[in-house]
Amino acid sequence: MFTATELFGPIHSPKAPLHSARTRLQAFCPNELSSLFAAQLAAPCLQPPKQGPHSRNRRYGLALTFWTFLWQILNPGSSCREAVRKVMAWLAWLGRPKLSEDDSPYCQARKRLPKPILEQALQTTAQTAEQGVQQNWRFHDHDVKVADGSTVLAPDTPKNQRAFPQHRNQSLGCGFPLVRLVALFSLASGALLAVATGNKHDAELQLFRRHLWNLLKKTDILLADRGFCDYVTLAWLKLKRRVDCVLRLQSCRPHDLRRGKRLGPWDRLVFWQKPLSRTRTATRKLWRWLPQQMSLRLIAYPVHIPGFRTHRIFLVTTLLDPIAYPAAELA
């Protein structure tokens, strides 16, 4: 009944188009990246500001620093010295004065990159990617947005340690600041639409509600893992924002398919009751607004991976029509 392919296999496979495109981009120089992405990134975004960081005319201006930094990101593990040598080769090819091999000026210029400009560049490229989405990439005329969370290590500075304290299991001075990220992606274009950051005390669901769920538009579909599967998220997005959800069921939730109305094989219409106590991530106003009951759809599907036991995954969704949204397609 269901496909036996791995989850998101075509995206993460080494044969995927995005993977091969990234491999080609790694061979480019910073100046080649600027010409390649000129159409996707609006020119005013990288214009030097009238005052503040990067307002003065320096060798490492705003645009050159940005494209050099992008090259460094596309080549994980590359040092600042390697990035400077790329710029030196480019300037030598143009016949311009020789640049010092010292990477300190570039590091200082990279540190001065204004956060609003980086955020504007992210929004501009995301909008450009969304405009190029073809109709057949959408799911039944719906835009699918993927939410997921992760953690990254930040540079070990006193300011970062105060804002993003390290894990308590680590000895003081032996760990790096821990930043929690929650991101919103477009499944059709693969573009990163928005990012919310916090420290280890901020739950992923809390960051999502605080910064990201207001970005979802009417008729969107939210696709996320079990960390986002709770009554508040399902009810508020469906009834307030008219956003449907396809979420992996939390392990603590009952998944007895012998109950509920049968919609098909391994497909049931169930009813969830509002929890008795308010969850930590919901405000009192939001909790009072929630309905006492809502109808949902529970789907189970097997995942077959050669050499492993068949694993059954449970989904919960607000897409209740089994004819318009078959269970196999949701799986």
Structure-token pair, residue 287: 């909790």
Cα(60)–Cα(100) distance, integer angstroms: 12
How high is the pLDDT of residue 43? 59
Residue 170 has pLDDT above 90, yes or no: no
Confidence of residue 23 (pLDDT cuts 50, 70, 90): low
- Residue keyed to tokens 């538009």: 217
**Cα distances (angstroms) measured from residue 315 to each of 24, 62, 247:** 37, 46, 6
Residue 5 phi, psi dihedral angles, 5° rounding: -80, 155
Is the full-model pTM beyond 0.85? no
Q: How much is the pLDDT for 13? A: 45
pLDDT of residue 10: 45
Amino acid, single-letter form, for residue 297: R
pLDDT of residue 27: 60
Cα 104 to chain center, whole Å? 32
Q: How far apart are CA 146 and CA 60, in angstroms?
A: 36
16 has a pLDDT exceeding 60: no
From first CA to last CA, the distance across the chain in angstroms is 10
Q: What is the pLDDT of residues 172-211, one digit of tens each?
A: 777 888 999 999 999 998 899 999 999 988 989 999 999 9
Separation of alpha carbons 101 and 82, rounded Å: 9
Name the nearest CA neighbour of 224 among 241, 210, 209. Answer: 209
Supply the pLDDT for residue 26: 57
**Is residue 233 predicted with pLDDT exceeding 60?**
yes
Q: What is the pLDDT of residue 5?
A: 39
Q: Tokens representing 77?
A: 């593990």
Q: For the ranges 17-31, 32-46, 58-72, 226-240, which has the lowest average pLDDT?
A: 17-31
Looking at residue 1, what is its pLDDT? 36
Q: CB neighbours of 103 closer than 8 A, spacing ≥ 6?
A: 79, 80, 81, 83, 84
**CA–CA gap between residue 194 and residue 217 (Å, rounded):** 14
> Cα(165)–Cα(198) distance, rounded to whole angstroms?
10
Residue 293 CB neighbour total at 10 angstroms: 11
Identify the band that residue 214 occupies on the pLDDT scale cut at 50, 70 and 90.
very high
For 149, 213, 233, 244, the CA distances from 236, given in Å and listed in that order, are 20, 10, 5, 10
pLDDT band for 19, please (50, 70, 90 cuts): low
Cβ neighbours of residue 78 closer than 8 Å, sequence gap 6 or more: 71, 72
To the nearest whole percent, how much of the chain has pLDDT over 70? Answer: 90
Q: Is beta strand 261-264 parallel, antiparallel or unpaired with respect to 144-153?
A: unpaired
Range with lowest mean pLDDT among 32-46, 114-128, 180-194: 32-46
Q: Under a CB-based contact definition with an 8 Å cutoff, are residues 282 and 265 in contact?
A: no
Lowest-confidence range among 44-48, 88-92, 191-195? 44-48
Q: How confident is the model at residue 74 (pLDDT cuts 50, 70, 90)?
A: confident
Residue of higher predicted confidence among 25 and 295: 295
